[in-house]
Structure 1
């Protein structure tokens, strides 16, 4: 079982961004010392929170992340030209010594599509075409692509990736159609672990596994990442008391976007069914259930808006000391 952290670089606009980033870099360096396996960056535009962009953040994290995998969790692929993405991630692949994952999603915020003049109705077709074109460019061969959105003639990439064929591509997806798309296009489905329904993961894992077989892939060979919200404290009461107020603020901020209003309305369901706030014993039980479903890479946000850095780091230390041994 692998464990990674989301470098949750989203902050109130009025805050000192430099201070927050320095604290985040220190947290990532601590995660290296503690033996965490991966670190992931966030992508949003015109956000209600100050959100440094993920490619720049990944470049900043490369010298601070030891041997950890670095990835985007996730890049809003329809808002980028695939040539740009192919070149940037080939560069990051070299800079990191081959430690990069391109995590991608189709996006959901209306203001982001409007800002880039992208019709949201086209996002899935753009998404599909972009992934196919990125993979073609990463071969280093001449590409002729008669695409709907990104036609190319006699094109070749300016820098070939260090990793043969390019970095792995993980596809973030929520609905069943999108999960099938992840099986068809991606090297892994980056599963969301924040559905308030307990039926979500078993049902969608079934869809994913069936689709892998349909598309000629071995379900036993793919990595199984899932993103969750997690805080570890000596007791579950202390974990809830420490983390829940900050998680509530952050989820209320997300819920300002129409597509996520349900998170405010069903926050109690989220707490009960998906927010992993607890003692090491509680977390071992919950993570064991995810492992039994087949997940093998737990990626979690270690803190939320306004949480002091020392509290975030206390959780990471305790989790590494008390939970890692149960799974390694």
Structure 2
């Protein structure tokens, strides 16, 4: 089992961004020292939180992340031109020594699509076409592409990736059709661990495995990442008391977007079914259940809005000391 952290670089407008980033970089350096496997950046535009952009953040994290994998969790691919993404991630692949993953998704916030003049009804077709085109550009040869959105003739990128064929592409997806798309297009399905329904993950793992076989891929050969919310403390009561107020503030902020209003109404269900707040023993039990479903790369947000860096780091230290040994 691998363990990664979400950089979670989102802060209230008006806060001292420089101080927040300095603390974040220190936390990532600590995670690298503790043996965490990966670190992931966030992408939003015109957000109600100050959100530095993910490609720039990845470049800033490269010298601070040891030998950790760096990825986007996730890049809103329909809002980027695929040539831009292919060039940027080929560059990051070289700068990092081949440690990057391109994590992508279709997006959901209406204001973001409006800002870029993109019809949200086209987002899945754009995602599909972009992934196929990025892979073609990473091959290094001239590309002729008669696409719906991104036609190209004799196109090639200026830098070939260091990794043959380019970095892995992980596809974030929630619904059944989207999970099947992830199986068809991606090297991995980046599964969301925040559904309030306990049936969601078992059912959608089944959908993904069936689709992999249908598309001629071996289900045993793909990495199985999942994104969750996690805080570790000596006791479960302490973990809940420390983390829950900050998580509630952050989820209330997300719920200002129409597509996420349900999170405010069903926050108690989220706490029961998806927020992993607990002692090492409790977390070993919950992570074991995810491993039984086939997941082998747990990526978690280690802190929420307003949580002091000292508390975030205490959780990371305890989790590494007490939970890692149960899975490695």
TM-score interval for Structure 1 and Structure 2 normalised by the shorter chain: over 0.9
Return the alpha-carbon distance in structure 1 between the equivalents of residues 26 and 156 of structure 2.
39
Q: Deviations over 1:10-41 (max 9, x none)?
A: 00001000000000000000001100000000
Return the alpha-carbon distance in structure 2 between the equivalents of residues 53 and 317 of structure 1.
27
Q: Deviations over 1:163-192 (max 9, x none)?
A: 000000000000000000000000000000
Q: Deviations over 1:208-238 (max 9, x none)?
A: 0000000000000000000000000000000
Q: Deviations over 1:153-172 (max 9, x none)?
A: 01011100000000000000
3-state DSSP class of the match of 1:153?
A: strand
Return the alpha-carbon distance in structure 2 between the equivalents of residues 86 and 138 of structure 1.
7
Return the alpha-carbon distance in structure 1 between the equivalents of residues 126 and 32 of structure 2.
36
3-state DSSP class of the match of 2:300?
A: strand
After TM superposition, give the deviation of residue 64 of structure 1 in Å: 0.3
Return the alpha-carbon distance in structure 1 between the equivalents of residues 155 and 27 of structure 2.
41
3-state DSSP class of the match of 2:219?
A: coil
Structure 2: tracts of 5 or more residues without a match: none
3-state DSSP class of the match of 1:171?
A: strand
3-state DSSP class of the match of 1:13?
A: coil
3-state DSSP class of the match of 2:227?
A: strand
After TM superposition, give the deviation of residue 261 of structure 1 in Å: 0.3
Return the alpha-carbon distance in structure 2 between the equivalents of residues 308 and 113 of structure 1.
33
Return the alpha-carbon distance in structure 1 between the equivalents of residues 184 and 262 of structure 2.
29
- Within a 5 Å distance, the mapping from 1:74-113 to structure 2 comes to 74-113=74-113
Return the alpha-carbon distance in structure 2 between the equivalents of residues 170 and 187 of structure 1.
6
3-state DSSP class of the match of 1:277?
A: strand
Structure 1: tracts of 5 or more residues without a match: none
Q: Which residue in the other structure is 1:326 paired with?
A: 326
After TM superposition, give the deviation of residue 125 of structure 1 in Å: 0.4
Return the alpha-carbon distance in structure 2 between the equivalents of residues 126 and 293 of structure 1.
31
3-state DSSP class of the match of 2:147?
A: coil
Return the alpha-carbon distance in structure 1 between the equivalents of residues 253 and 259 of structure 2.
12
Return the alpha-carbon distance in structure 2 between the equivalents of residues 201 and 32 of structure 1.
29
Return the alpha-carbon distance in structure 1 between the equivalents of residues 272 and 126 of structure 2.
36
Return the alpha-carbon distance in structure 1 between the equivalents of residues 130 and 33 of structure 2.
37
3-state DSSP class of the match of 2:40?
A: strand
Count of aligned residue pairs for this structure pair? 328
After TM superposition, give the deviation of residue 108 of structure 1 in Å: 0.1
Return the alpha-carbon distance in structure 2 between the equivalents of residues 32 and 68 of structure 1.
7
Return the alpha-carbon distance in structure 2 between the equivalents of residues 86 and 25 of structure 1.
26
3-state DSSP class of the match of 2:312?
A: helix
After TM superposition, give the deviation of residue 84 of structure 1 in Å: 0.1
3-state DSSP class of the match of 1:234?
A: coil
Q: Deviations over 1:268-299 (max 9, x none)?
A: 00000000000000000000000010000000
3-state DSSP class of the match of 1:104?
A: strand
Q: Which residue in the other structure is 1:3 paired with?
A: 3
TM-score for both structures, normalised by structure 2:
1.00
After TM superposition, give the deviation of residue 150 of structure 1 in Å: 0.1
3-state DSSP class of the match of 1:220?
A: helix
Q: Deviations over 1:77-126 (max 9, x none)?
A: 00000000000000000000000000000000000000000000000000
3-state DSSP class of the match of 1:10?
A: coil
TM-score for both structures, normalised by structure 1:
1.00
Aligned residues: CA RMSD: 0.2
Return the alpha-carbon distance in structure 2 between the equivalents of residues 14 and 175 of structure 1.
36
Q: Deviations over 1:284-318 (max 9, x none)?
A: 00000000100000000000000000000000000
